[in-house]
Amino acid sequence: MGKKMTSFRGLCLIMLALVLVLSACSGQKNGGSSNTPNDGAAAGTDGKEQNSELKPYELNVAYLNIGTATDMPEVQAAVNAITKEKINATVKFMPIDLGAWQQQINLMLAGNEKLDLLVTGSGLNFGTQAAKGQLVPLEDLLEKYGQDIKKIVEPDVLKAASSSGSIFGVPSVRDWAADYGVLMRKDLVDKYNIDLSTVKTFDDLDAVFEIIKKNEPEMAAIIPEAASVAVVTSLVPGLIDPLNDDNGVLPGLDNDLKVVNWFETEQYASLLTMVRRWYDAGFIPKDISTNQTASEQLVKAGKAFAFMAHMKPGYENKTSLLTGTEMVAVRILPPVATTSSISNIMFSIAKNSSDPERAMMFLNLLYSDAELVNLIDYGIEGKHYEVKGEVIGFPSGVDANTATYNPNFGWMWGNQFLSHVWEGDDPKVWELQDAFNKAATKSKAMGFSFTVDPVKTEAAAIQNVKDQFKIGLENGTLDPVKYLPEFIEKLKAAGMDKVIAEKQKQLDEWAAANK
């Protein structure tokens, strides 16, 4: 009995301890939230005083760590010399590795750590961060301190960075669109005198593949763009706006904003028939659906002649380096820009920032100050790169393996078109890219992003069905005559119609709000 009493008392003590700990936690939370308005007020007064003088401030900028940046401290010092003079702020660069990105950024945002600017994007949880209120809405800040950004990133492009009606990010200036087609080995195209100018549609490719099949029986005529992607999959974005997932899409990127089931369309059926034809003719290897090797590697090893690709100007030159043989591009679908192709990589201001104004001023510099952009992208002139006529390259004695600053992340930092062009690229590549972006067809639903939560269960069930059928159908390994109706049937059973109705509802609301 006595023993029981002791253990009961012990339990009570523990409960008490727990209660104390819990209340301590919530106390801290209250403290945290009561601090925020104060910070906001302080920042507000800073803003008012802005004309007279800016207080020194340190901006913490989190970005994806790619490539080599051993000399980052030196570059940071040089960057600070510029920012100190222009906006009286210093910048603390916080590189975070790709593999650790999701974890660390989540923790930093949740833990209220010092963080002013962060890289984000459609693939980097931008939607969730914006919905959770971890990012600062940017309209007013852009109006006040971001005029140079507004000049370069046009309103209909900036819209892609919005979430529930507000803008939360600024897309970096880079390839905002892609065109779609096939990359082929040039040596073989020349060897068999293949006339690529006659190839206008994907159906015209049969003749080309037939020649390869006849003369190079060991070689696959066509393979997908990458491992675990199907042949058809990578050209689909050129035809439709997938509206986040491809459950309910806008064919032709317009369709008067009427959402349809892509898998039921004639267009989809005809694509599947085409790829089945290729598969039956032996153009596509039998084991393609389980392939894990990169397509460039397969071409390099002499196992494939061509692969599907989404491209941009100069793309074939770069791919040629990877495949080890010159590639020629057949561009079949014209360039297309969607919400996700623009909002891939952006900078956002974190809620943690105690001076969002200054963060926006720094962002503005990234879109207007060529010296700053080159410094961040390529390092210090003479030490990390050398100007060679119209282009730049490594100083003599330095190569990609020995470089001490070669981060390769120009596409992340503001306006890449302000930066130098690296040797090997067309010196005019930025102008070409700019024209390409401007020429791209923009989706009518640009800026819309689908919130999947109301139909989460259905979406998960649909995903299961897609995992079962999609890659087989889109590689031609499953016969569409037999399996496409079954696929559609199962999608319907999984709740596709409900998802489409929900998406249509959200899209209509979005359209009404954005009139």
Partner 1 sequence: MVNGKQKLFQIGLHVVFSAIVLMCLLPFVLLIMTSFTDETMILREGYSFFPSKFSLDAYAFLWNDKENIFRAYFTTIMVTLVGTFAGLSISSLLSYPMARKEMPMRKALAFFVFFTLLFNGGLVPTYFIYTQVFELKNTMMALIIPGLLTNGFFVLIMRTFFMNSIPVPIIESASIDGAGEFKIFFKIVLPLSLPILATIGLMQTIGYWNDWFNGLIYITDSKLFSLQNLLNRILLNAQFIQSNASSMNMSDISAGAKIPMETIRMAMAVIGVVPLLCAYPFFQKYFVKGLVIGAVKG
Point out which residues bind partner 1 (CB under 8 A). 7, 10, 13-14, 25, 65-67, 94-100, 103-104, 107, 110-111, 113, 174-175, 226, 293-294, 296-298, 300-303, 311-312, 315, 317-319, 321-324, 393-394, 399-401, 406, 408, 410-411, 422-425
Cα–Cα distance between 436 and 459 in angstroms, integer? 35
Tell me how far, at minimum, the Cβ of 55 lies from partner 1, in Å.
24
Residue of 236, 251, 263 whose CA lies nearest to 469: 263
Cα–Cα distance between 43 and 452 in angstroms, integer? 35
Nearer to partner 1, 228 or 464 (CB): 228
Nearer to partner 1, 247 or 433 (CB): 433
Nearer to partner 1, 173 or 462 (CB): 173
Cβ(169)–Cβ(126) under 8 Å? yes
Tell me how far, at minimum, the Cβ of 375 lies from partner 1, in Å.
16
Query: Which residues, in sequence order, are CB contacts of 209 under 8 Å at separation 6+?
Result: 221, 222, 278, 281, 283, 305, 306
Nearer to partner 1, 251 or 393 (CB): 393
Nearer to partner 1, 333 or 499 (CB): 333
Nearer to partner 1, 315 or 450 (CB): 315
Nearer to partner 1, 232 or 309 (CB): 309
Owner of token pair 């390529």: 378
Cα–Cα distance between 94 and 113 in angstroms, integer? 12
Tell me how far, at minimum, the Cβ of 510 lies from partner 1, in Å.
30
Tell me how far, at minimum, the Cβ of 36 lies from partner 1, in Å.
16
Output the six-digit token pair for 360: 């926006």
Tell me how far, at minimum, the Cβ of 391 lies from partner 1, in Å.
10
Tell me how far, at minimum, the Cβ of 481 lies from partner 1, in Å.
33
Nearer to partner 1, 83 or 172 (CB): 172
H helix runs in 224-355, sequence order: 266-280, 295-300, 315-323, 339-343
Nearer to partner 1, 301 or 460 (CB): 301
Residue of 499, 449, 488 whose CA lies nearest to 466: 488
Cβ(459)–Cβ(245) under 8 Å? yes
Strands (E), 45-114: 57-65, 68-69, 89-97
Tell me how far, at minimum, the Cβ of 9 lies from partner 1, in Å.
9
Cα–Cα distance between 6 and 2 in angstroms, integer? 6
Tell me how far, at minimum, the Cβ of 95 lies from partner 1, in Å.
7
Cα–Cα distance between 32 and 342 in angstroms, integer? 35
Tell me how far, at minimum, the Cβ of 176 lies from partner 1, in Å.
13
For the chain, the first-to-last Cα distance in angstroms comes to 75
Nearer to partner 1, 40 or 324 (CB): 324
Owner of token pair 């005198």: 193
Nearer to partner 1, 66 or 257 (CB): 66
Tell me how far, at minimum, the Cβ of 488 lies from partner 1, in Å.
32
C-alpha angle with apex 175: 170 to 177, nearest 5 degrees? Answer: 100
Tell me how far, at minimum, the Cβ of 110 lies from partner 1, in Å.
5
Burial of 78 (0-12, 13-18, 19+ CB in 10 A): middle
Cα–Cα distance between 245 and 133 in angstroms, integer? 23
Tell me how far, at minimum, the Cβ of 453 lies from partner 1, in Å.
21
Give the 3-state DSSP-derived string for 32-54, with helices as H, strands as E and coil as C: HHHHHHHHHHHHHHHHHHCCCCC
Nearer to partner 1, 280 or 399 (CB): 399
Cα–Cα distance between 349 and 358 in angstroms, integer? 10
Output the six-digit token pair for 300: 């390099």
